[in-house]
Amino acid sequence: MPEGDTVYRAARLLDTRLSGETLLHAELRVPQHATADLAGAVVAQTVPRGKHLLTRLERGDERWTLHTHLKMEGVWRVFDGGRRWSKPAHTARVVLRVPGREAVGFSLGVVDLLATADEQSVVGHLGPDLLGGDWDPDEARRRLLAVPERSVYEAILDQRNLAGIGNVYAAELLFLGGLHPATPVGAVTAVPRLLARAHQALEVNKDRRTRTTTGDTRSPLWVYGRSGAPCRRCHTRIEQAPRGPAGRERTSYWCPHCQPAPPRAASVTG
């Protein structure tokens, strides 16, 4: 699933290429909005909210928000001058055409159109946004610790606690903190440092084409996706396991040596 930095870049692309332009044609290829008429609307802006994209439209006194979510495979692309699409047409779920270009959302997990005044109905549940103006580490910490017995892995992935962390960052941040994924979040004695690292990681990577948590784009990640490979620090084999509620499991990655298993108390170290 795309991380907050990926969504940030998608929002910037749409905002840069569409804002201020008038829609000549729009297709929302989902049953509930297939007949929506958006021609003549002006694209006011596109903003990210955690992993959600909010494209705001205006036409006269009407104000709408096109709410999209990339989920696992979604991506937005902008094509100039009638250029051929880079992905199959049958995967396009949104097409927004303005003079000289069109933006296409392929394989989007969520496509919804609602009144801008009702945006909170789709993003109001989210915790502080790591890349947003509302980032509040104290509130994020309060939410994380509200269920102290929950694993730190599940807690930082829960968008209701803080918005923007996906599976890649969850694995990498826990490695950097020396935390086994199953560690109860209430046993983490340096949650502020964990949150500071999360904020820094997304900030540093939001303008990069290649995400890295190691500082080396040739070997960009510590543990994510490296099951069976040697740890870059200690050479122990990286392990993986599904975690989370049944039916919604995600694969976690960790180094058994650098991230010893509970029950002993864990802390985020320097």
The answer for residues whose C-beta is within 8 angstroms of residue 268's C-beta and 6 or more apart is 177, 178, 179, 188, 189, 190, 191, 193, 194, 197
Q: Residue 265 pLDDT more than 80? A: no
Higher model confidence: residue 145 or residue 134?
145
CATH topology of domain 4-123: N-terminal domain of MutM-like DNA repair proteins (3.20.190)
Which of the residues 3, 102, 154, 172 is marked catalytic? 3
Which of the residues 9, 17, 49, 51 is marked catalytic? 51
pTM summary value: 0.92
Token readout for 114 is: 């609602």
Q: Residues 59-100: pLDDT tens digits? A: 999 999 999 999 989 999 999 988 999 999 999 999 999 999
Per the annotation, the verdict on 250 as an active-site residue is yes
Note the pLDDT of residue 59.
97
| Every domain of the chain and the residues it spans | 4-123, 137-254
Which of the residues 58, 232, 250, 262 is marked catalytic? 250
Per the annotation, the verdict on 9 as an active-site residue is no
Token readout for 86 is: 């880079």
Any idea which of 24-33, 49-58, 238-247 has the lowest mean pLDDT? Answer: 238-247
Note the pLDDT of residue 268.
47
In this structure, how many other beta carbons lie within 10 angstroms of the beta carbon of residue 217? 11
pLDDT band of 266, cuts 50, 70, 90 = very low
Which of the residues 2, 48, 128, 181 is marked catalytic? 2
Q: How far apart are CA 233 and CA 203, in angstroms?
A: 24
Cβ-contact 7, 32 below 8 angstroms? no
* The domain made up of 137-254 is a member of CATH 1.10.8.50: yes
pLDDT band of 247, cuts 50, 70, 90 = confident
Q: Is 43 exposed, middle or buried (0-12, 13-18, 19+ CB in 10 A)?
A: buried
pLDDT band of 264, cuts 50, 70, 90 = low
Torsion of CA 146, 149, 151, 152, to 10 degrees: 40
Give alpha helix (H) positions in the chain: 4-18, 120-123, 137-144, 152-157, 167-176, 191-205
Overall average pLDDT of the 87-116 stretch = 97
Cβ-contact 25, 94 below 8 angstroms? no
Overall average pLDDT of the 181-199 stretch = 96
Per the annotation, the verdict on 3 as an active-site residue is yes
